[in-house]
Amino acid sequence: AQKFWKDAQISICLALSQQGRRLFEFPLRDYLLQREGNKTDYEFNFTLQKNVLRTSWWQLSAGIGYAEFHNTFTRPFDHRTVLKSKSGFYNEFLHWYQAYTISKLIVPVSGRLFLAKNERVFLNMQAVPAFSFRKGINHIGQRFVKWELEWNGFELYPGVGFTVHPRVQLAFQYRWLYRYKIDEVIFYDLLFDQRGSADFLQKKYDDYNPVKYWFTLSYALARK
């Protein structure tokens, strides 16, 4: 057990990203975009990672963690995806959410390239496969939750980091690549006319990549 913790670290991360504001041919699109103004989506995660390979100038680590993404863009959603599983009943009225949260299990794999022997500065590349297991929607004073384990997406983050204490590192990263499963909660036929829906809604995956930045604080669980 002591040997395991020697090469392990915990991390707390906060991400800020542009909203996913695609409304396609939705009739109220222009009104919604103007009303919302400039808001920011955000995400946080907690991870435990362990070094699996290491040399004097680079290291590779892998681990597991929990992430929670908060979508702040007020938009219509397909209530059938949550109400159907909740009660077996739904209606055809237009529904809007005030908040949308996705809880995810993540499996980060990180590589570091040290730029100095004292490891004070390093380049970082992190791959983050994610599996969503819970989607929560706030709708007119009600809370709807959908529980389902499914592949959510894959993200790739290059960045730079700094060792500020023998056991503490800070890192800054940006999302370079994003491949994810199209979310049936927010992408559905109401956003399209009959001509536009055929292409997008038949896809299973998408690579639309709003700007996203990560700020990470890491702590080694044992002294080197």
Q: Is 201 helix (H, G, I), strand (E, B) or coil?
A: coil
Q: Please give the domain boundaries of the chain with CATH numbers for all domains.
A: 2-220 (2.40.160.20)
Predicted local confidence at residue 94, as pLDDT: 64
Q: Which of residues 133 and 75 earns the better pLDDT score?
A: 133
Give dist(CA 8, CA 14) in Å, integer. Answer: 20
Give the end-to-end CA distance of the chain in Å, rounded to a whole number. Answer: 16
Question: Which helix (H) or strand (E) element contains residue 208?
Answer: none
Q: What is the per-residue pLDDT across 146-165, written as a single tens digit (0 to 9) for each?
A: 899 999 999 999 999 999 99
Say if pTM beats, i.e. exceeds, 0.85. Answer: yes
Q: What is the per-residue pLDDT across 23-71, written as a single tens digit (0 to 9) for each?
A: 888 888 888 888 877 789 999 999 999 999 988 899 999 999 999 999 9
Token couple for 112: 């570091």
What confidence tier does 197 reach under pLDDT thresholds 50, 70, 90? Answer: low
Are 136 and 101 spatial neighbours (Cβ–Cβ below 8 Å)? Answer: yes
Res 223 pLDDT > 90: no
